[in-house]
Structure 1
Amino acid sequence: MADHGEQVCRRVDVSITRVFELFGKRWTGPIVSVLLQQPVHFADLRRAIPGISERMLSDRLTELGAAGLVVREVDEGPPLRVSYRLTRAGAAMEPALKELALWAQTYLVVDEGGC
């Protein structure tokens, strides 16, 4: 019989909670993965992520900026263009994200029956 006392049942690590509060949101991972490659203009970033709306992309970029992972840069025009790049902290996520991608390729079954 398993021991379910206080010593066995521990709270989840606060750091893990914070990571998944941010990365558990839809679109955050794909946005970061595109930005890992290079800084990207808003319109190009939207085209790189099929299905994301402008509003959702803007919201996620704002959240990533508030978390200190993304920087918004205005390219003076004409035309005026906005680009985004990862901060040093954002770029430091690359090894962890690559490991997650490898895990997903190995253990997550892909349904190839759809379009």
Structure 2
Amino acid sequence: MEMHTEDDDGINMHEEMRRAFSLLSGKWKLEIMWLLNQRVYRFGELRKAIPGITQHMLTAQLRELEADGLVSRTVYAEVPPRVDYEITAKARGLGPTMEALSAWWNEYGKTVPVRTTTRGRQATSK
């Protein structure tokens, strides 16, 4: 079976979509992007907002998103240091995708079985 993924310009859309998927395919990237789409977050706020993520994993995922141009990091010369994270204009281009996912979830989310998460550290209730 042959895959027909090239467009009229000879661009292999299968490969291009694989590149696009890889930008958001980290364990926590979509959740991070979802939160940052709402507002600017400080590192500690993000960590508290994502149950189960470790400090190391959040740092790694944020670094990858920053390297890919989807998140910007602003460091303020204060004591203690303050670091803000926000999505970039490039990432805001994913807005329609986020809206489509929200609409899909509103329609079908109740039919998706609830799974207990076993990834990351256990969330603590405070």
TM superposition score category, shorter chain reference: 0.7 to 0.9
Per-residue CA shift, 1:4-49, capped at 9, x if unaligned? 4x3xx22452231112212222110000011011111000011111
Give the structure-2-normalised TM-score. Answer: 0.75
Structure 2 stretches lacking a partner, 5+ long? 6-12, 118-126
Counterparts of 1:83-102 in structure 2, within 5 Å, are: 83-102=84-103
Per-residue CA shift, 1:42-78, capped at 9, x if unaligned? 0001111111111111111111011111111112212
Q: Which residue of 2 aligns with 1:111?
A: 113
The one-letter amino acid of 1:38's match is: R
**Residues 114 and 90 of structure 1, relative CA distance in 2, 3 Å threshold:** closer
Counterpart CA distance in 2 for 1:55 and 1:114 is: 22
SS in 1 for 2:85: strand
Q: Which residue of 2 aligns with 1:48?
A: 49
Would you say how many aligned residue pairs link Structure 1 and Structure 2? 109
SS in 2 for 1:85: strand
SS in 1 for 2:72: strand
Counterpart CA distance in 1 for 2:45 and 2:115 is: 29
1:16 aligns with 2:17: yes
Quote the offset at 1:88 in angstroms: 0.6
Q: Which residue of 2 aligns with 1:74?
A: 75
- Quote the RMSD (CA, aligned, Å): 2.1
1:25 aligns with 2:26: yes
**Residues 62 and 15 of structure 1, relative CA distance in 2, 3 Å threshold:** same
SS in 1 for 2:100: helix
Give the structure-1-normalised TM-score. Answer: 0.81
The one-letter amino acid of 1:111's match is: P
Q: Which residue of 2 aligns with 1:36?
A: 37
**Residues 10 and 70 of structure 1, relative CA distance in 2, 3 Å threshold:** same
Quote the offset at 1:112 in angstroms: 4.5
